[in-house]
């Protein structure tokens, strides 16, 4: 049986920062990966001072769609779907009437359910309910829409509901990567996460840990470089090489929604179908 994973992300570039290396890991093994991006990212700004201005007549949404396509290719995604909403912006006031935060939960969930019923993945990766860790209104909306979508799928045919995992980033991972920056003598982009305990996941919340190869981590860095409007070549997120990241913390972390309480952590997103 062809193994298939479908991820639900809020904006272009979230597919890299939230589990990108996991997709590189699985697609290298022949797993098919499908990306659903809820919004166009048009409320963002050009954050890379080296990028300059957009070419005449080009919108930020068009630019970010191109960057997203390149990033998805780098990670091994075979398909990219847009859910078709506008970026609501960090304060939730952008995007006009098409803003993701203004969409009805049921209507957005139906749109997502139609894609899932067409793609038939065994595994879905999305966002959880730790909104202190991930406070962007579109990320909160992505959690609400995915949760409602899974309910709808269950009402139609409970036997065919995919196994759902939420991306996570533990306090331990923050600490280890911060210390690796210190060892390498480079500024740490992980410091803010350590200063604010509420923005990390408790280590005990993590119930799924995926082991990554150095190649998968390198492909994540390659995908991040594709988001040229968002990240400069000298960004702190490139301070550690793939080799240094691999030595320090070669894992992605998840919370499996259906995990039995007290069970052992699982090491495979396809635990239910293997």
Enumerate binding residues for Zn ion (CB under 5 A): 10-11, 14
C-alpha radius of gyration, the chain, whole number? 18
Q: Which is nearer to Zn ion, 13 or 218 (CB)?
A: 13
Distance in angstroms (rounded) separating the CA atoms of residues 155 and 247: 45
CB atoms within 10 A of CB 202: 12
Distance in angstroms (rounded) separating the CA atoms of residues 185 and 244: 12
Token look-up 């049986």 returns 1
- Min separation Cβ 260 and Zn ion, Å: 31
Q: Which is nearer to Zn ion, 10 or 224 (CB)?
A: 10
- Min separation Cβ 263 and Zn ion, Å: 31
Q: Which is nearer to Zn ion, 138 or 244 (CB)?
A: 138
Q: Which is nearer to Zn ion, 64 or 256 (CB)?
A: 64
- Min separation Cβ 136 and Zn ion, Å: 5
- Min separation Cβ 4 and Zn ion, Å: 24
Residue 79 DSSP class: E
Quick one: the chain helix, strand, coil %, rounded to 5? Answer: 45, 15, 40
- Min separation Cβ 13 and Zn ion, Å: 7
Would you tell me the crossing angle of helices 60-75 and 20-27 to the nearest 10 degrees?
Answer: 50
- Min separation Cβ 141 and Zn ion, Å: 11
Strand partners, 79: 34
Q: Which is nearer to Zn ion, 102 or 175 (CB)?
A: 102
Q: Which is nearer to Zn ion, 172 or 225 (CB)?
A: 225
121 touches 4 (CB < 8 A): yes
């Amino acid at each position: 049986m062809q193994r298939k994973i479908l991820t639900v992300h809020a904006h272009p570039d979230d597919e890299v920062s939230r589990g990108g290396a996991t997709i590189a890991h699985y697609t290298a093994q022949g797993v098919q990966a499908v990306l659903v991006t809820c919004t166009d990212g048009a409320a963002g700004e050009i954050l890379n001072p080296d990028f300059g201005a957009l070419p005449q007549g080009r919108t930020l949404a068009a630019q970010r769609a191109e960057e997203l396509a390149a990033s998805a290719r780098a990670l091994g995604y075979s398909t990219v779907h847009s859910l078709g909403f506008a970026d609501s912006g960090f304060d939730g006031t952008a995007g006009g009437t098409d803003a993701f935060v203004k969409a009805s939960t049921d209507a957005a969930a139906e749109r997502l359910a139609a894609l899932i019923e067409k793609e038939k993945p065994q595994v879905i990766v999305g966002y959880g309910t730790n909104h202190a860790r991930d406070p962007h209104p579109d990320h909160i909306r992505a959690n609400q829409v995915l949760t409602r979508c899974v309910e709808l799928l269950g009402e139609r045919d409970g036997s065919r509901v995919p196994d759902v995992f939420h991306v996570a980033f533990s306090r331990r991972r923050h600490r280890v990567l911060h210390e690796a920056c210190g060892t390498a003598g480079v500024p740490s982009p992980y410091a803010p996460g350590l200063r604010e305990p509420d923005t990390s996941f408790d280590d005990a919340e993590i119930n799924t840990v995926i082991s990554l190869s150095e190649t998968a981590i390198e492909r994540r860095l390659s995908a991040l470089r594709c988001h040229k409007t968002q990240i400069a070549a000298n960004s702190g997120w490139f301070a550690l090489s793939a080799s240094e990241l691999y030595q320090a913390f070669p894992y992605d972390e998840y919370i499996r929604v259906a995990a039995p309480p007290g069970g052992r952590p699982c090491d495979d997103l396809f635990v239910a179908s293997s």
